[in-house]
Amino acid sequence: MSHEMRPTLAPAFLSSLGWIALLGSAALLIGNVVGSIVVPDHDWIADTVSDLAAGRFEIIQDVALYGYAGALLALALGTAHVHDGAFRWTALTFILVLLALCVVIIGARNEYGDGDSEGLVIHIYIVYVMGALFAGCFILMGLVGDQLSGRLRIVSWCVAVLWCVGAPIFFLMPTGYDGLWERGLGVVSLVWVVTYGCVLLQVSRNCQGGNNRNVNRSDEV
């Protein structure tokens, strides 16, 4: 059953959040490409992204991760802003916040890629949590995304299937290929983030174009 969206929205706020989501996604992509080129002896097929975030050039991947965390947080704020009061939107908002926090923790704790095993090593557990959170995020948006955009709902379900199949396989991949597989999963998540960011931009334009602040479903993005 469809719920009516909250009647008042701030188009400029939604627009800024959409752009932050797009710029944060670009930061992750560019940082990974640059890091893969700059870091000596890095094999983008065999070495994971985590290997880029430790060592002499760790700042490149760290900035990329923080940018992506910003994108996820922007989507969380956007989700909260278009919240219609249903539990699914509440769950989606908190999941996006937790995902942003997980990405920040991964970027801040350099306990991977450099063989560091001292103290409490939580990287692998954070990765498990992120895998579950992303799956929940995609599925929830598949359930409620039609209220914003039919295309967002379709993309969410497609991404959910790819993620739920591909993420478990990652942990079974030989080390000679897991870097490539991980990057594939990263692209899957980026497709969703970029799509949602574009939807927020379109919703903002719809509000401004209609000279009101109502949410209009958009199939143009």
pLDDT, residue 111, reads 54
DSSP 8-state class, residue 146:
G
In 39-149, alpha helices (H): 58-81, 87-108, 123-144
Tens digits of residue pLDDT in 16-34: 999 999 999 999 999 988 8
> Rounded CA gap, 168 and 128, in Å?
10
Local structure of 214: helix, strand or coil: coil
Tens digits of residue pLDDT in 79-108: 999 988 899 999 999 999 999 999 998 888
Residue numbers in the chain where pLDDT is lower than 70? 1-7, 53-55, 110-121, 209-221
The structure tokens 């574009």 sit at 198
- Give the CA distances from residue 204 to residues 31, 71, 78, 118, 180, in Å, rounded to whole numbers and listed in that order: 29, 17, 11, 48, 36
> Rounded CA gap, 190 and 186, in Å?
6
pTM: predicted TM-score of the whole model, two decimal places = 0.87
What residue type is 29 in one-letter code? Answer: L
Q: How far apart are the first and last CA of the chain?
A: 23
User: For the chain, what are the domain ranges?
Assistant: 11-209
pLDDT, residue 221, reads 45
Residues in the chain: 221
11-209 CATH fold:
Rhopdopsin 7-helix transmembrane proteins (1.20.1070)
> Rounded CA gap, 59 and 175, in Å?
24
Four-residue CA torsion sign, 69, 142, 22, 53 = positive
How far from the centroid of its chain's Cα atoms is residue 211's Cα?
31
pLDDT, residue 219, reads 53
pLDDT, residue 199, reads 97
